[in-house]
Structure 1
């Protein structure tokens, strides 16, 4: 059986993978199957057609998923669900894909394009190793389903109910909604296989060959920015290559063998506006615009350029957050019972934080929408997956069921840590089926009284046993911080007790975080801004977890850091900064981005350069925050998303341009700590020495635009998307070599395709300092030349 339509996926194996980039290969199918189901008064849900062939598996169950409960009460409804293809079929698909790729390379070579395309091919190979690795189980097939009910007095029940579904490997399956609306109307008028065939071929003719393939850092930068022409150079380069290929006279096979002349290429500046419009230069680089001609209608399609893991379809985090925040703010209700993994701020923990904790600690979560369309519960499930993922963690959508019903409850309960959407109110009365119930109709979140209690772990006991003098913040000790976070010792030992009163402080920062989120929603910052906030929250959580493991267990699987071997800088070769400079900017570069012949002795590197991980102003604040987050970190450490994160970080490290420095750590030190002149100089010089190439600059920019959430600071300040501010502060350092080194780094950033947008955000104060440093160096060099001439 090629495909399983059972709602129970196999247990995910934790293997390195990231969200595949959008299809660029012309041979790849955008849509694999098109299905049509209908409801028969005598036989129930039946599958009418499957094109181009049967999906396989239980057709009756598949038809039931396409026709949700109470669908006859609505004229239209949408559902989303996933199919899990078996491993044998996937191996065949992978072999076919490799064969197709080799064939395309051979064809390009025979057409005389090998020379011009070599660089692009190398980039494609590098990106493919980053993006298209094996996933934790066979890749999902995403199914977008449209149900229509048409009144017809000539049939039983007085209505005809039909559903049409598109099965695709693309997580951005929402782009097919306009096509499904047209196609289902066409099918009602002409209920034959030809209607499905026409849609199938129209969709698969969509051309995404001009869509650039971004690496992980470029995707992060694009998602975190609202700049509409960010990375426009990548689109222009592809268009220029396409124009050059079209303008080159076709050569015979013999001529192409003898011709060693490279294919002429055009710079982005050579792309004129009429041709740019012809080839589809986007108005907003966040989306790639294409057109599908179907039923004599040109249907515009906008494909997201930057995709994140666990982001499926179109959903609104703002809608999800508002649904549960409004009742909590107007009429708060304490959680009963509490749970150390969930109520990390006590019984009055914000319901969104409870949901987030439930997802991270792999609890069974159900979204119930009584009398609501199935599309709303499906959107809530998909939104919750993206909420907990933050575009970084994986392991949620593979065990998510955007819509299910009572007939599949036995299979559902076999899945640990599922996230399911239902419309039947019977689920609310069976609290043994779920750990957390999110009622979309009332906006309330409930914790099951039969939830399994968390055991007392070594990490929780570590902070409990610490003397107050070694883990203190003003007015709190290590265990008091843990208690304020809603994780009492009795709860950790398996009881149900937890503090029910006020937390006495926001040691986890959750309350401040939710206040900032709600304020951003009220100020209409937009969906991308809200997603960015949760991305930063998840990033901080993973860095806290790494620090927690190092503190408690002595090492962390979430951190990979070799002995420092840094590219050198001439400014390190002086009496104040250790290191031997035996390279220049023109020195050969190794494959890992370090310059040949340049290496620092790890025993003599300043400690502020070799550090890693999250940054706290004081050890007391570190202990208090780790204690407050101890229970949910311990709850996360045994989940699918944790193991996926460990392997994702290992895979990311392989392709990380700067491996020997924790750029986030160094940037956070500059932002959060009051450093002396020498420690700051060492950090600035280390950053300037390590960041030389475009790929290294891209990694640094991802750090600058991302930052991490810090509840001790006001929104928009320290480390939270501050751009180049803290790098530009190096222009004011007392040492001239530091100022000039920072200025050189900023010049390299200005010349970078994304860096120029960051430089545009630097204020007048920083620009004046930059010009002053360059003018001072020029005057010093001229003076030195004049003295030498004399």
Structure 2
């Protein structure tokens, strides 16, 4: 609680963990509510996280010229940062009146914080929430709907689609076992309020947020769910409410809006009823954008649970993040970590090691750190003359880096010491693969580490004894490492034997020249992409999403490596190709997807050394357990969803039979809210959202187009699905709207003039003429 050099800093923060190792275990453990810890692992349930504030006040009357005091809060919640404001007030009180009463007031205030209505999100709900910057994502979970403006007032023009089924169940805004509640539970309340609002405004009618219309709704064919719609026309009101998609999906959508608005098109409707708008009959005017802007200021960000701490008559607002995973503690920033150790400013020294330098001397510093994390190396972050808070945040960011931001792997927090001192040094240094943050330079000279990351001088140093402590010994039966020439023939990295050859401690004659690496390797391109996003001021959430995808890819490549080496894998789906034989039922593929065989061979060769080292760690064993649990409990059962989406995204060619089976299988699986959230979690905005599924709308075969419409119609039945549909670009949404109308029209009136399968009839509001758009 009193870091080295605290007397030289007016304020500093540190983070520490309890019940982590035998020497810092507290008995008895804080009582844990079984209901709250049922979804956490045994390790996570017993881990306690501490945030500590230390302050120095100069005082000439004091013996050393200053008074230094510290105060900490220990909790089972990983989002420690929410306690910073109350700690500041409490420590100020303690300076003025150093008594136990200050601690009692702080204890009571923190424990009286209301978490009673905080929703407990499922794994896939968390993934959806963290991957989008829409402030209304899953809105209404933890608060009454009346706390939010009606999103339906954000825009004047909607697309009229045929009525779908009643909105599917959403998520209960409180902790529950079934984790599900119907959105209609709030429908009557919202409808009553809307009717009262209509009465006050002279009979104007608006759509309720639950999708249930008031009695004077303008059109039974209007498509509105949760007060939102799948826009195709003017979307100027969209920005006013903050409903802007992130990353490339947002830019594509905005450019489409500009081009369409420039032509004066207000909305597009296959049934030519768009002139009625969304706000009543006879072209009633919509609320002004100024009103929408005022409403947006009151909109709460649903990424957080909003509560407060009442300390000493001060009401402190608290925003609790809802999408935090156990391996994400505090405020560690991957943006900060990548900036500190960017290739342009980082100096790397020490011997090359195959576990760490997967691209030889050109391996990016952050990738060296990632490799050290997953292969269980001892890592120290040194910040001489730096704040202890700085080194603590780098350690916490490293844990997020290795774990894929808590989404993929675990076991890093268990061996992390965000701030470590000379006290109990022998105990924490005895932990295999420790990750420690220090400010005392004596630890560098001691040399009991494998990787030193100096945040003050932007250095990464590999221990000179790393080959002795971690010998790269491989079985002669390992064909992926011992064979030579394959990757070299494909123009990749010289030879695989060179990639893993390391100097022997005797410096024998078998030593080969060290592998130099390639500047265009996948890891180098990835880091350039991340640094480019940071330079373009993308958010921390976007950077984390990229690293999550990176770790997911690493694990799936590791599974393929195990299959080639051992014949089977216990950490992913088995590798299979799509098969379609006469007289047999077609079978979808599974496993890690590679664009071609050359890419597969290259990726396996580059990753082989760190995969071998990872397979010997506790992190690997924990993931084996997690994978078995995922397979048993995932809402979508029976096929590898990630593989099918990768096929839709990257496949150079695909048979019509495979495309139809992919869409049919996914459409048949979407029968519940949990299944929908799992699908959407694999379609984040930074990977263009629903774009892979929208490809089916333009397929040459009608069956595939029909299945794509069915799939999107199913998503349309859920509020979160509507939000994802809104992220599609203009062209994709227009294709969906007109095909959904055509299908509905055929079903409603089979005796009328049939619409040709090769064309869709569209009536534009500008000239009311019919035109044929061939090919679907």
Q: TM-score range by the shorter chain?
A: 0.7 to 0.9
Deviation string for 1:299-350 (max 9, x for gaps)? 111110111231111122212211121xx315x6454301101011112321
* Equivalent position to 1:701, from 680, 692, 697: 680
Supply the distance in 1 between the matched residues of 2:141 and 2:8 (Cα, whole angstroms).
48
- 3-state SS in 1 of match to 2:665: helix
**Cα shift readout 1:481-506 (whole Å, capped 9, x = no counterpart):** 564xx432667999996864642454
In 2, Cα distance between equivalents of 1:698 and 1:774:
22
Query: Are the counterparts in 1 of residues 699 and 705 from structure 2 also a CA contact under 8 Å?
Result: yes
Could you tell me how far apart the structure 2 residues matched to 1:291 and 1:218 are? 24
Of 616, 627, 633 in structure 2, the residue corresponding to residue 655 of structure 1 is 633
- Structure 1 residue 614: deviation in Å? 1.6
**Contact 1:371/1:423, CA 8 A, preserved across alignment:** yes
| Structure 1 segment 149-228 matched on structure 2, within 5 A | 149-228=56-135
Instruction: Quote how far apart the aligned CAs of 1:214 are.
Output: 0.7
Matched residues in 1 for 2:503 and 2:451: separation? Answer: 21
What is the match of residue 79 of structure 1?
14
TM-score (norm 1): 0.71
- Note closer, same or farther for the CA distance 1:606–1:454 as it changes in structure 2 (3 Å cut): farther
| Structure 1 residues 348 and 272, CA gap change in structure 2 (3 angstroms) | farther
- Is 1:624 the equivalent of 2:602? yes
How much has 1:419 moved relative to structure 2?
0.4
Distance 1:742 1:356, change over 3 A: same
Deviations 1:66-86 (A, max 9, x none): 111111111211111111178
Q: Which residue of 2 aligns with 1:55?
A: none
Q: Give the structure 2 partner of residue 606 of structure 1.
A: 586
The aligned counterpart of 1:229 is 136
CA spacing shift, 1:460–1:144, aligned 2, 3 Å:
farther
CA shift in 2, pair 1:90/1:669, >3 Å: farther
Determine if the alignment matches structure 1 residue 678 to structure 2 residue 657: yes
Cα-to-partner distance string for 1:738-773 (whole Å, 9 max, x where unaligned)? 211110110111222221111001122222322332
Assess, with a 3 A threshold, how the Cα gap between structure 1 residues 786 and 75 changes in structure 2: closer, same or farther: closer
Q: Which residue of 1 aligns with 2:443?
A: 427
Q: 3-state SS of the aligned residue for 1:726? A: helix
Unaligned runs of 5+ in 2: 148-183, 198-208, 210-293, 755-776
- Alignment partner for residue 302 of structure 2, among 272, 285, 289? 285
TM, length-normalised to structure 2: 0.73
| Map of 1:371 onto structure 2 | 385
In structure 1, distance between residues paired with 2:349 and 2:748: 72
Q: Tell me if structure 2 keeps the 8 A contact 1:401–1:419.
A: yes
Aligned to 1:298: 315
Q: Cα distance 1:92–1:523, how it changes in 2: closer, same or farther (>3 A)?
A: closer
Report how far residue 153 of structure 1 moved: 2.2
Q: Show CA shifts across 1:635-666 (max 9, x none).
A: 11111221111111222222211120111100
Q: Deviations over 1:609-642 (max 9, x none)?
A: 1x22221111221111111100011111111221
**Residue 332 of structure 2 is aligned to residue 315 of structure 1:** yes
* 1:403 partnered with 2:419: yes
| Aligned residue among 535, 553, 562 for 2:566 | 553
Task: Tell me, yes or no, if structure 1 residue 475 matches structure 2 residue 455.
Answer: no
Q: Distance in 1 between matches of 2:658 and 2:503?
A: 45
CA contact (8 A) 1:236 1:271 kept: no
Verify: 1:336 aligned to 2:350, yes or no.
yes
What SS does the aligned partner of 2:56 have? strand
Moved more, 760-769 or 212-221: 760-769
Q: 1:632 to 1:563 in 2, by over 3 A?
A: closer
Q: How many residues align?
A: 610
Matching residue of 2:231: none
* TM-aligned CA distance change 1:498 to 1:542, over 3 Å: farther
Higher relative contact order structure (alpha carbons within 8 Å, sequence separation ≥ 6):
2
Provide Cα deviations, 1:202-250, integer angstroms capped at 9, x if missing partner.
Answer: 111111222211100000111111111000142357989xxxxxxxxxx
2:735 paired residue number? 769
Match of 1:755 in 2: 721
SS at match of 2:323: coil
Q: Give the unaligned 5+ runs of structure 1.
A: 1-65, 102-123, 241-263, 565-575, 580-602, 707-719
SS at 1:559's partner residue?
coil
Distance 1:500 1:233, change over 3 A: same
In structure 2, distance between residues paired with 1:494 and 1:367: 31
Residues 557 and 577 of structure 1: CA distance in aligned 2, closer, same or farther (over 3 Å):
closer
